[in-house]
Chains A and B, each alone.
Chain A
Amino acid sequence: MSGGGGGGKPRPPPDPIAVMRGHRAPVMDACFHPSRPLLFSGAHGGGAGVYSVATNFAIGNKVVSQGRDGTCKCWEIEEAGLSRKPLVTFRTNSYHFCKISLVKSASCSSQSSKAIPASERIVESDYSINELEENKKNGVSKESIRFSDVNCAERSQAHLKDFSTMGERKLMALAGEDSSMVEIWDLATAKKLMRFPQTSNVDAASHPTMQRGMCMAIQAFIPSESGCSLNLLSGYEDGSMLWWDIRKPSLPLSTVRYHSETVLSLAVDGTCSGGISGSADNKIVMFSLDHRMGTCTMRKEISLERSGIAGTAIRGDNKIAATAGWDHRVRIYDYRKGNPLAILKYHSASCNAVAFSADSKLMASCSEDTTVALWELYPPKGTS
């Protein structure tokens, strides 16, 4: 990747620096280990597999995987791969298309990106061994993974204690048994703590959220402002996006409908003051969250030639955002300005997810073509 010539012809878009071909089924999700040079990916095909994988600082040296079999599993990360058996298995009884979300903390992520030393590049062979083992062991493939780091968790505990009772726990958000509900699970105890909207059984069916169809995308986060309670963004089948505060589980803080089709992916930036959403329509929306007012406003709408954004991600330093499109392309945007930076053509089938490494150096894109590609884009200044 060259630094970029002056005027004249723009540089051609870069090629992936590595491609991982360990999977035999469409790769549904991928996530980087928050501190170690590890990448977890989950493939799902033929009715079995991992639909999403997740890990982050908050849950320790573990990774959570979600299948389409009504379970989520939490795995210990060991020296030579994952634990033979999952630490915890949750029976969520959910059979939907919504990927799980771990809690993204504003303070945590901003610290972590600075705290983690420059990690070594992930080598392809390492990765694929790891992945294959995992597949063999589980007999399932993964769908989405998010990591959390022990250190960071410890560090953020100080904050969390001040928050509501949820704060110190390792939490996970997912669409529930009733797929229009969002549920919060405790990873340690494998228990369901809450659900949104919180309603009495009587008016459950008539609650406005119920009319929005299935919940298709969730992002849980703890903003540093506004009392630091757990917040949730959830996207629905009808294109609407709801912003929940855990303290007010019955009604969303804000309801917006930027998309005309199902919201497929949501990502919140490191400061938790905004985010990006992708949907089945031909739009990408960048929005900002005003915590004081509790409002969500559209910052930028990007129209696409070909519709369908299955995954979005914002890099830890909030400079660039990536989208994984059904049109086989990964698109890179300047997160602040919203202007397009690159169209990455490598995959030969629709892309399912994109993920940035915690040190902002790498990006992984996973696709139906059973590959995961690693990209090196606009490396942060300090490291390049």
Chain B
Amino acid sequence: MSAPEISVVLPKDGERNCWKNAFYRGSAFPALSRILLYNVASKWLADFPKLARKQVYDSFFVEGPTTEIVQALVPSLKQKGSTKDDFNVICSNIERLLMLCLLENEGVRLMVGEFGLLDEQDNNILKPDKVTFISRISQLLSSIPDKVRLRASSALSSHSFFRRVANQLLTGAEERAVQLNCNAIPDAAFLFVGETFSHVCRRGSIDVIVAEVIPRILSLVQSFLSSNANLVVPDVINSNPKSHFWLNMVEAIKDQYAVEKFSEEMLRQLASTSISDVEVYWILWILFSKNFKFGSFVRGMFVDKFLLWKVFPLCCLRWILQFAVFECPPNSDAQMEGRKTPHFLNSLQLLISIWSRREFVQSSSMEQQAYLTAAVGLCLERISKEELDATKDALSNILQGVSCRLESPIDLVRRMASSIALVFSKVVDPKNPLYLDDNCCEPVDWEFGMLPQRKQIAAASHNEDENKSKLFLREDRKSASDEKKQRVIKHKSAENNALIQELADPDENRNPVEVNGEHFSGEEDDDDSSDSSLKPYDLSDDDTDLQRKFSQLGDIAAALRKHDDPDGVEKALDAAEKLIRASPDELSHNSGDLVKALVHVRCSDVAMEGEEDSAEEKRQKALVALLVTCPFESLDVMTKMLYSSNIDVGQRILIIDIMTEAAQELCNTKVVKREQKQGELVSAVSQPWYIPSSRGPPGAGPWKEVSEPGTFLSWSHRYEREIPSRPGQTKAGKSRKWSLGKAKDLQVEWSQNRFPLYAAAFMLPAMQGFDKRKHGVDLLNRDFIVLGKLIYMLGVCMKCMAMHPEASALAPALLDMIRSRDVSNHAEAYVRRSVLFAASCILIALHPTYVASSLIEGNQEISGGLEWIRTWALHVSEADPDTECASMALTCLQLHAEMALQTSRALEAADQFKAQTRTLPPKLDNIIIPFSSTKF
């Protein structure tokens, strides 16, 4: 294009602005911009030289007011061009222009200024149409990263774009704040910034903004802190125009959701920096204090949402409490004593009342519990006894909360209770702190290993819980045995003294001899010889032989009952397992007696200090041995005891644990069977004549036939046997025998899983009375731990007979039990976990062909039960508050899907069979597999 000479009269500045305004704000600009964006861009722009493009084309947009530019550019991003190529060209051009206008030219900052000017023109009155205009512009601005094409420049990606936008917005707003100088709030410029923030927040990028905000406000606060030492007074901040911007900033964000997200993100990001508590306090103060005082929303957000519903790291919790509950800077503890706000006690009361609710303990997630416990604990640390007395219900609520937590099967929950109890006891009597368990240490660790690492909670497995509950029981017993411990310690020290004396004696013994030397004067001639002849033997001594040896089961049972002879009981426990495993003939007669005696032994009273666990273990092992060696008789007694009212919860749990272990052991037993000898059916004598007699040295092995290598027919029998080596004889090395014949089969046969034989005896009596309520027995409510363990045990039983026909026989009964509302919808997560476990075990245990046949036969118990498992697991995985439950439910669903697959295969096989034989009753032709839809 050749440039003809054109005479141009440059207008004056004011005139020019006027023209500009008229052009850009009039209707001409949108129309012209549309032509430029669509027609020019798609057809000719590529041919423009770079400089021309910049001077002529770009300046059209760059020079204009940014609000108009945005309105013109952004909507065009989504308008479809005629062809795809056109569209791409158009879009890339718009993107380029946007980057140019908004980012390079700092158009966003200019926009803030524009709104400010706009405001001044209108005398600071925010008309509704202006508000909508502001909102529209900010929405357009924040939508840019979402509207640009995927291949657009990275500067327009939401992260970097918003970062630069936020930067410009903040700078602009700061400038505006300086202009305003404490007047005229609400201001359109602030409103725009706030609106943009909330739109950005709604688009999920609040973190970018917060990251921009923090360094600015932090440097501000630090400047205050450094200039005023520790005497930062709100007035100082108020008087600073810079801080004024921040004071109004949050107010300008009208969207409550955005404020909440903004504050939350702010706290989390602050937590990841190494920032002091004082600085954080003042940051929060500057941002929120205005709203906090007057707006119920911000107060509600901090006191209600952030304390009760969210989970922050512990340091954030401290900040939140400091700001919202204590309402004083953290370095002014002394001042605070005098002026605790009424809000403080109200908030505390609210916290405590929620904390103490049983439902909260049962249904909220573990990190939530830890968080709230920490909040309560930190508040209690600040309270005095008088204040505590003044708050109604707080005292009783705390006690109630502590006691219901102490009953929990989860160790962590109990630790929370003991921590609160410790803090509480220090409020009541600072000199007499109450330590509920040994691990309780003085500066309480409020994190409980929970709050910062938030992902690890779900990993806690069922087994861990079990251990924990065992631990719990043990701990309970520990306290009972304290007295005994002391006694033992005394006894020990006495013994030690004796030992020392005995050791010291040889040195002392000269004196008496010398003193009394006269008595032996007549024999002095012998002395030398006697001295040498009386050489001491080895004087070492141990008391292994003194320990009572039990050789009769009856003795053991009798010794176990003598609670006043702890040594005897301990030794009986030592000997019990070995003796029972030996399985003597009288075991079946004594087993019931032994079971009772073993269950009733109080290990903690018997064992020495520190050895309670080993005594407990011996007891358990002995009981397991009993169940394994003599299942029917022992189970008979044990299952009766399980629901009898004269044993306590600990013993009930013991019984269930024992049964679990025994089931597993029976399942894995290896029975050594002698190979049946063939061809001896007629023989009247136990040993055929041709086998050599069994006489020989003791310990000789049985005779074995040796096959003649090389021939199949042998005319003679050859036998060999092992003979123990003679006393003096030593074996040199190993001997190997090579033979042509095949390696003979092992003489022993490993037969696995003896459990199915006893499964019914294990399960049916235990399932019988779980829902009955008797004196001291209340599985469904109070003793839910027992119930959980029981169901777990039943699950293990199912697993132990997986794929055996017995499983199919017992599964309906177990399904029936876990399907009952009280069990499957139990308030305690512990029970629900057990139910999920049991359900999974059933899925594993049932043989697919059995499921298939029960479907074909229309066995409602099984098909209905399995379908119930699926629906219930689905429900749990979606709605259960306990994360562990949810993940277990997912596993359960997976297992169900696998089972369904296997079953459908089995059904196919059955169909083929049916086609061949046509013997199946016709009514069963249309069977709907209830779970065929559940493929994962």
Contacts and interface: CB of A to CB of B under 8 A. Distances in A.
A11 B538 CA distance: 5
Contacts of A44: none
B442 interface: no
A252 to B, nearest CB: 21
23 contacts: A4-B535, A10-B535, A10-B538, A11-B535, A14-B537, A271-B522, A273-B519, A298-B512, A299-B515, A302-B502, A303-B502, A318-B520, A318-B523, A332-B537, A338-B512, A338-B513, A339-B509, A339-B536, A341-B534, A341-B535, A343-B539, A378-B534, A381-B529
Contacts of A10: 535-539
A288 B519 contact: yes
B541 A299 contact: no
B439 interface: no
The 10 closest A-B pairs by CB, nearest first: A342-B537, A10-B538, A13-B537, A4-B535, A303-B501, A341-B536, A299-B512, A273-B519, A288-B516, A303-B502
Contacts of A23: none
A14 B539 CA distance: 11
B539 A342 contact: yes
B825 to A, nearest CB: 61
A110 B502 CA distance: 32
Contacts of B537: 10-14, 332, 341-343
B543 interface: yes
Interface string A365-384: 00000000000001001000
A91 interface: no
A14 B538 CA distance: 9
Interface of B: 495, 498-499, 501-502, 505-506, 509, 512-513, 515-516, 519-520, 522-523, 529-530, 533-539, 541, 543, 545-546
A313 B319 CA distance: 83
Nearest to A348: B545
Contact of B541 (A273, A305, A332): A305
Given A340-B536, A343-B539, A300 B512 contact: yes
Given A11-B535, A338-B509, A345-B541, 4 more contacts: A302-B505, A336-B530, A338-B505, A339-B506
B542 to A, nearest CB: 9
A186 interface: no
A173 to B, nearest CB: 24
Contacts of A339: 505-506, 509, 536
Contacts of B516: 274, 288, 297, 299
A336 B513 contact: yes
B503 to A, nearest CB: 10
A254 interface: no
B11 to A, nearest CB: 118
Contacts of B534: 319-320, 334, 341, 378
A304 B529 contact: no
Contacts of A300: 509, 512
Contacts of B529: 381
Q: Is the interface of B mostly helix, strand, loop or mixed?
A: helix
A384 to B, nearest CB: 9
A9 interface: yes
B541 A343 contact: yes
A341 B537 CA distance: 6
A282 interface: yes
Nearest to A332: B537
B73 to A, nearest CB: 99
Contacts of B513: 299, 336-338
Contacts of A274: 516, 519
Contacts of A334: 534
B315 to A, nearest CB: 58
Contacts of A332: 537
Q: Is the interface of A mostly helix, strand, loop or mixed?
A: loop
A9 B522 CA distance: 34
Interface string A346-371: 00100000000000000000000000
Q: Most A CB atoms within 10 A — which of B505, B535, B538?
A: B535
Contacts of A12: 537-538
A11 to B, nearest CB: 5
Interface residues of A, number: 42
Interface string A289-321: 000000001111011111000000000001110
Contacts of B533: 378, 381
B568 to A, nearest CB: 15
A73 interface: no
B322 to A, nearest CB: 63
Contact of A304 (B498, B519, B539): B498
A12 B534 CA distance: 14
A319 B495 CA distance: 30
Contacts of A305: 495, 498-499, 502, 541
Interface of A: 4, 9-14, 271, 273-274, 282, 286, 288, 297-300, 302-306, 318-320, 327-329, 332, 334, 336-343, 345, 348, 378, 381
Nearest to B549: A348
A100 to B, nearest CB: 27
Contact of A303 (B505, B515, B535, B546): B505
Contacts of A299: 512-513, 515-516
A369 to B, nearest CB: 11
Contacts of A381: 529, 533
Contacts of A286: 512
Q: Most A CB atoms within 10 A — which of B509, B530, B534, B538?
A: B534
A293 to B, nearest CB: 12
B509 A340 contact: no
A224 to B, nearest CB: 11
A244 B513 CA distance: 25
A177 to B, nearest CB: 35
A342 B533 CA distance: 13
Contact of B509 (A288, A304, A337): A337
B345 to A, nearest CB: 64
Contacts of A302: 502, 505
A167 B834 CA distance: 90
A282 B499 CA distance: 11
A334 B516 CA distance: 15
B76 to A, nearest CB: 101
Contacts of B509: 300, 337-339
Contacts of B539: 10, 340, 342-343
A48 B311 CA distance: 82
Nearest to A350: B546
A250 B85 CA distance: 138
B753 to A, nearest CB: 43
Contacts of B520: 318, 336
Contacts of A320: 534
A273 B523 CA distance: 13
A302 B513 CA distance: 14
A273 B495 CA distance: 33
A29 B929 CA distance: 87
A10 B501 CA distance: 22
Contacts of A336: 513, 520, 530
B543 A306 contact: yes
A329 B538 contact: no
Nearest to B541: A343
Contacts of B546: 306, 327-328
Contacts of A288: 516, 519
A286 B508 CA distance: 14
A345 B543 contact: no
Contacts of B538: 9-13
B498 A303 contact: yes
Nearest to B522: A271
Contacts of B498: 282, 303-305
Contacts of B519: 271, 273-274, 288
A261 to B, nearest CB: 14
A339 B522 CA distance: 21
A332 B541 CA distance: 13
A123 to B, nearest CB: 25
B886 to A, nearest CB: 61
Contacts of A282: 498
